[in-house]
Chain A
């Protein structure tokens, strides 16, 4: 519904910024109908869940914190849980199976702290 209060913003800088992105936003609604808009609004009910599910590249901003004989340890930001965790990666040539075995052993020994294998790395929380 169109409301009485609907008027474009009077702030010139805001207006200029809006103009710069208007084409992209407008184009993204091309061919969508009211049913689609209602679906968009439904999705809006779970934005946090949707944004977490949409994360593909979970571990960000790696900082090397140490290197041993078989692995390197990085401090990384976990986008899904919004916190920093330690990520260990085996050095080149090191047996991935041995690495996996150690990860499981550490995980059992260090309970209740969590540790799990992510591809060829393990994450310690």
Chain B
């Protein structure tokens, strides 16, 4: 069996998982999707006691239906498809619980309002995915950069000028500029690698 760690640089994790449903790539893939699915469910209004259960249902459905997604010639964008999958599982589970009268009034309102507006939900889940990917990338580069580098980058991204940042952190402007540039490039490098591993290219079937 092909080692996942050897393959990530050439073949996406999703592609590996798709080719072999027993591949260790699946475990890796689910591990990286799980926090994202949890946070998406949280946005849907799913509360803590139910999140574990619903999250497992979503991941199981992902595992079962990924092949169908790739076979569908008229398929939507991958995250649109995934968003629908998360939403459908969450709503089905909610309805089951509603029938069992285990939901509270506010939960029901949140779920119903989100279920009614799918574009709003898609936007939220898209934003959640972007934040998830950037979080993973930042976790990687935190071990590479020390000291003030990441702080310089964040402040500049937040709108402070190089002059303000260099003055408040006590470093010269040239260093601040270099640090910001290094962190940004490295972060983008990691984001591209992560996206290559965890996302399907929408243009290449």
Contacts and interface: CB of A to CB of B under 8 A. Distances in A.
B135 A41 contact: no
Interface residues of B, number: 44
B181 A29 contact: no
A12 B49 CA distance: 22
Interface in A69-103: 77, 79, 82
B9 A34 contact: yes
A29 B178 CA distance: 20
A8 B132 contact: yes
A28 B194 contact: no
Interface stretch (B55-63, B100-108, B136-144): B136-144
B112 interface: no
Contacts of A28: 188
B95 interface: no
Interface residues of A, number: 40
Nearest to B175: A82
Contacts of A37: 188-189, 192-193, 196
B32 A40 contact: no
B182 A2 contact: no
Nearest to B197: A2
Nearest to B187: A25
B138 A1 contact: no
B131 interface: yes
A4 to B, nearest CB: 9
Contacts of B72: none
A47 B189 contact: no
Which residue, of A17, A51, A77, has the highest number of chain B Cβ atoms within 10 A? A51
A29 B140 CA distance: 17
A44 B138 contact: no
A21 interface: yes
A61 B192 CA distance: 37
B185 A41 contact: yes
B165 to A, nearest CB: 14
Interface in B151-205: 154, 157-158, 163, 172-174, 177-178, 181-182, 184-189, 191-197
Nearest to B154: A17
Contacts of B195: 29
A47 B140 contact: no
Given A36-B192, A37-B189, A22 B130 contact: yes
A41 B181 CA distance: 11
A24 to B, nearest CB: 7
Interface string A2-29: 1101111100000101111111111011
A8 B132 CA distance: 8
Interface of B: 5, 8-9, 13, 28, 32, 35, 127, 130-136, 138-140, 142-143, 154, 157-158, 163, 172-174, 177-178, 181-182, 184-189, 191-197
Given A19-B131, A23-B127, A44-B186, 8 more contacts: A3-B140, A5-B143, A8-B132, A18-B134, A18-B138, A21-B157, A22-B127, A34-B192
